[in-house]
Amino acid sequence: MENLNNLGDLHGKTVVITGGTSGVGRAAAEAFALECCNVVVGARGQEGLDETVSLCHDLGVVALGVPTDVSKFEDVENLANLALQYNGRIDIWVNNVGVMASGKFEDVPVESMDQLVKTNLLGYLHGEHAVIPIFKKQKDGILINNVSIGGYVPAPYSTAYSSTKFGIR
């Protein structure tokens, strides 16, 4: 996120980040907060949401954590609707969610692989489906899909993960 200056003045912009409670997602939330953006974070874990929102508040910005399971379109649509309440628009949407199930292919339960695909691949499509109509109405908006290295180089013992990340790419 070091190239945020290339985006111009971000002060007061509304940024939505899925999977923003740890790793790259939390770092993105912090980076956008440092640019004085309104930060809206969607994730499943309430504790992580509370921590990220607190971090953003400590940096002096408005932030909201929304319990969101991106594998469910209704949750993502709710995330977008709540984000719109800040200033009637969403300026930047960051699809960042990523879950992993590793192991020998035959040892990873089918249910785990199904959920991984719903989260990593369909979750991004749900985000895009929710925000693109908003961007079109606004005639403006930035969509960022965080692919991960798994979209370029297959990870051993991570067939489903690599497949979803390659699909996003």
What positions carry a catalytic annotation? 161
8 A C-beta contact, residue 21 and residue 43 = yes
Q: Which of 167, 146, 158 is nearest to 112 (CA)?
A: 158
The region, left, alpha or beta by phi > 0 then psi within -120 to 50, assigned to residue 53 is alpha
Whole-angstrom distance, CA of residue 152 vs CA of residue 52: 29
Residues 6+ apart with CB under 8 A from 139: none
